[in-house]
C-alpha cells in the first residue's frame, strides 16, 4: 500500500536550492534560474528509486556541460580536470542527496535505491509505469538542469 506523496513542487524546489547552495554554488554567484520548461533537453541523468510507503523515482538531468560544471564545483576542481568517473560519481551523488531528502519527508517504510547514472539523454530511460508528478527546471549559466519526481501509475490508481 502506498500513500499520497507528501512532497510538493515547493518542497522539491527548496531541496534543490539547498543542494545548490551547499554543493554547487556556495558563494551564491551562479544560481539555477527557473525556466518551468519540463521538456528542456538533457544529455546526462541520474536517478534513485524509492519503494515502500511510496513508489517512484527522483531524476537529476542536465546538459553534459552543466554536469561537468557540477562535478567541478562538487569536487573543488577545474572543469577541464573532471573525468568521466568524476562526472558519474557526482551525478549519482546529486540524485542520492535529493532522493534522500525526498525520502525523509515520506512516511516510514520508504527505501532508497543506489543511484543509477546514464551518460545519455533522460529520454533514453523510460519509466513506463510512472508519471511525472513534479519538477524543478532551470538554466545554470545557460545550460539546462532539472530535478523531477515520478510516481508509479499503479500507486496513483490505488489512491483514486
Report field, pTM of the whole predicted structure over 0.85:
yes
- Going by C-alpha positions, the residue among 69, 9, 53, 40 that lies closest to residue 138 is 40
Q: What is the average pLDDT across 87-109? A: 94
CATH number of 9-24+39-159: 3.40.1550.10
Q: How much is the pLDDT for 4?
A: 60
Which residues does 77 contact at the CB level (< 8 Å), separation at least 6?
71, 86
Domain boundaries in the chain? 9-24+39-159
In tens, the pLDDT along 99-137 reads 999 999 998 999 999 999 998 766 666 677 888 899 999
The answer to whether 2 and 129 are in contact (CB under 8 A) is no
Burial label, 123 (beta-carbon count in 10 A; 0-12, 13-18, 19+): exposed
How would residue 41 be classed by pLDDT, with cut points 50, 70 and 90? Answer: confident
Residue 160: predicted pLDDT: 47
141 Rama sector, left if φ>0, alpha if ψ -120 to 50, beta otherwise: left
| Per-residue pLDDT at 125 | 66
Amino acid at each position: 500500500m502506498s500513500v499520497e506523496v507528501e512532497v510538493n513542487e515547493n518542497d522539491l524546489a527548496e531541496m534543490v536550492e539547498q543542494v545548490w547552495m551547499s554543493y554547487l554554488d556556495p558563494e551564491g554567484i551562479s544560481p539555477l534560474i527557473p525556466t518551468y520548461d519540463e521538456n528542456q533537453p538533457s544529455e546526462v541523468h541520474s536517478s534513485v528509486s524509492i519503494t515502500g510507503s511510496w513508489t517512484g523515482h527522483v531524476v537529476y538531468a542536465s546538459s553534459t556541460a552543466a554536469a561537468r560544471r557540477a562535478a567541478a564545483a562538487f569536487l573543488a576542481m577545474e572543469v577541464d580536470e573532471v573525468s568521466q568517473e568524476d562526472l558519474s560519481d557526482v551525478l549519482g551523488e546529486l540524485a542520492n542527496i535529493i532522493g534522500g531528502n525526498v525520502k525523509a519527508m515520506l512516511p516510514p517504510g520508504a527505501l532508497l535505491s543506489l543511484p543509477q547514472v546514464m551518460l545519455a539523454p533522460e529520454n533514453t530511460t523510460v519509466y513506463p509505469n510512472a508519471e511525472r508528478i513534479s519538477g524543478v527546471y532551470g538554466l545554470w549559466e545557460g545550460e539546462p538542469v532539472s530535478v523531477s519526481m515520478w510516481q508509479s501509475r499503479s500507486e496513483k490508481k490505488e489512491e483514486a
